[in-house]
Chains A and B, each alone.
Chain A
């Protein structure tokens, strides 16, 4: 274990890539020592490079939400470390945005969409005029400028999750963590949201880590996929994805996509 915070590797152009997030032998035990002790994550190691779109796939209940809460600084690892931009996490860092699995639970129903999105800006002491400008800007990039003054519960599920995405993006984080963000919307909305997240990722230049149990979604979205085993999870394999420009129909029917998909299916459902 060295104390050097950054591990430099080289990409094909020879430029050093600094991991924005570095997860090292993370282990999470709930209620340690108690009768209901529960090992949720056995040992997980991976790192996320700046600018990359990384998906973490794993079967239901394998500890994805636990992993995301731990790597975001919301929960402490039992063993192992999580480093964000070179420093070990003790709480959620400033440059990190989180989108939770269930928008109905994460958004604040007593606030309008505008108030929801501008809340983190308020917490950062941004002046009102600037805050309003930024809020409208980010609501605009998720296509919700028309419903700024409505409440989240007045919107469809897909729109609510877009409010949650706007809220996490409003303060321009370096890293966006998302926990199965599209799990509870219908297929069409899901495709739209997938393309939306690719669009805002390019627009904001944000690094994204997205947790999902949907292999197709992972292949469609990511540059790299971390495949988790059944719980208590460990990393089965890290799969690079090189599919170029994405387009729902063309990408999903391309040979590259199908090959990767089959490979991942075999990893997740070993015979």
Chain B
């Protein structure tokens, strides 16, 4: 039954949409950079280690260098801009400092980030737990498969009006939307990862007489964890996007609200600072995620690196 879970859920984190794809690319660079910092495998020859070190240095340089180059290009090209739509970067950075670092706009971070945290963590947990349950109950999995797929392909923002009707325009609606977006990639990847666990690993578990709960905890979840992580990362991208969207519709706070308000008030420099803030949050969260992932999945990256020996 390769129906529901096999939908574009590869370890490489198949992009769920074009928008997310670009953000995943950013994180991919970080992934390689991070891979070598945790990669303390014994047995690698000095020559090999040197080669991987040089490769790692290259990726770090690219990961840090490219954004800097882009910023410099932006700075130079926009320096003499008189267009109100594309203010000089120097002006944006100046405003950014005034608004987000010492100014009042940083208060907008609190609702945004707290909604994101609750929604993302909640949605991810629901995704993983339902993934485990569906894995254990193949009959339910078969029965729910069309619905799950339907919800997975449904663009989450389309649900906003419905969520407003259910939860009103309060925080619950925003959290629910973020959580909703995080559930599906996590669920599908969890399910697919669990189904990919080798039969011999289950035979071993039975031979050692592990209980069903211990088998899930010690064998199935760790075995599926690389793919669960891919799902969690995709879920994070979706959650950030949904956070912004939820703040742009019928909302009274948050970064998305700030951007929209600034634009409405023709405060275009301020609008750009909000966009910049979002880019920073997205990047930082991505790097954080990759850092944690490489710590938790050190065994996976370590064993994979040795495979190609």
Contact = CB atoms under 8 A, between A and B. Distances in A.
Contact of A74 (B203, B214, B299, B300): B203
A106 interface: yes
Interface band, chain B? 20 to 34
Given A74-B203, A110-B300, A154-B42, A123 B208 contact: yes
B203 A109 contact: no
A154 B209 CA distance: 26
A72 B204 CA distance: 11
Grouping DSSP codes into helix (H, G, I), strand (E, B) and loop, the B interface class, with mixed when no group exceeds half, is helix
A151 B302 CA distance: 9
Contacts of B210: 119-120, 123
Contacts, number: 73
B200 A167 contact: no
B309 to A, nearest CB: 10
Contacts of A69: 203
B37 interface: no
Contacts of A98: 203-204, 207
B201 A106 contact: yes
Contacts of B201: 105-106, 108
Nearest to B226: A110
B90 interface: no
Grouping DSSP codes into helix (H, G, I), strand (E, B) and loop, the A interface class, with mixed when no group exceeds half, is loop
Contacts of B203: 69, 74, 98, 100, 106
A98 B219 CA distance: 17
Contact of B209 (A92, A100, A107, A110): A92
A153 interface: yes
Nearest to B209: A123
Contact of A110 (B214, B225, B306): B225
A105 B197 CA distance: 10
Given A105-B201, A108-B219, A154-B42, A91 B206 contact: yes
A154 B208 contact: no
Contacts of B300: 109-110
Interface of B: 41-43, 198, 200-201, 203-204, 206-211, 214, 218-219, 222-223, 225, 299-300, 302-303, 306
4 nearest A-B pairs in the assembled complex, by CB-CB distance: A120-B208, A98-B207, A153-B303, A105-B200
